[in-house]
């Protein structure tokens, strides 16, 4: 599988402007995370589901959240190092350009939205 979708997450109507990049996005995560985790499980943790702030692009199917942690060999949660997260965010910005916003929510996820 190229990417995982957390149970209950609704991406059925996710805009093409995001779905067309999911493979490249998952590869950016895997490439940058390879030193922290041999096979980083890229996971979309929110789409149009859940509770988001009023006016959120999630409700317009224009945003996703992506996990920035994994479960290590001991079965414990481990966050990706800050420099790896910053590199992922930078690579996403380079790939996607000015019509997309990338926001890091420390210790939780990266929020990505299409906002032309």
Distance from C-alpha of 91 to C-alpha of 76, rounded to nearest angstrom: 27
Give 86-102 as a 3 state SS string. HHHHHHHHHHHCCCEEE
> At CB < 8 A and 24+ separation, what contacts does 74-78 make?
78/36, 78/37
| Proportion of the chain above pLDDT 70, given as a percent | 97
End-to-end CA distance of the chain: 30
pLDDT for residue 1 is more than 60: no
Mean pLDDT of the chain: 89
23-75 per-position pLDDT tens digit = 999 999 999 999 888 888 899 988 777 777 787 888 888 999 999 999 888 99
């Amino acid at each position: 599988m190229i990417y995982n979708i957390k149970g209950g997450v609704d991406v059925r109507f996710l805009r093409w402007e995001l779905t067309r990049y999911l493979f490249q996005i998952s590869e950016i995560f895997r490439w940058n995370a390879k030193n922290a985790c041999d096979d980083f499980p890229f996971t979309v943790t929110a789409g149009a589901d859940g509770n988001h702030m009023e006016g959120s692009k999630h409700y317009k199917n224009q945003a996703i959240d992506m996990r920035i942690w994994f479960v290590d060999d001991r079965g414990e949660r481990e966050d990706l190092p800050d420099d790896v997260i910053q590199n992922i965010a930078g690579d996403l910005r380079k790939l996607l350009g000015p019509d997309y916003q990338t926001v890091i929510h420390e210790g939780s996820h990266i929020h990505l939205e299409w906002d032309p």
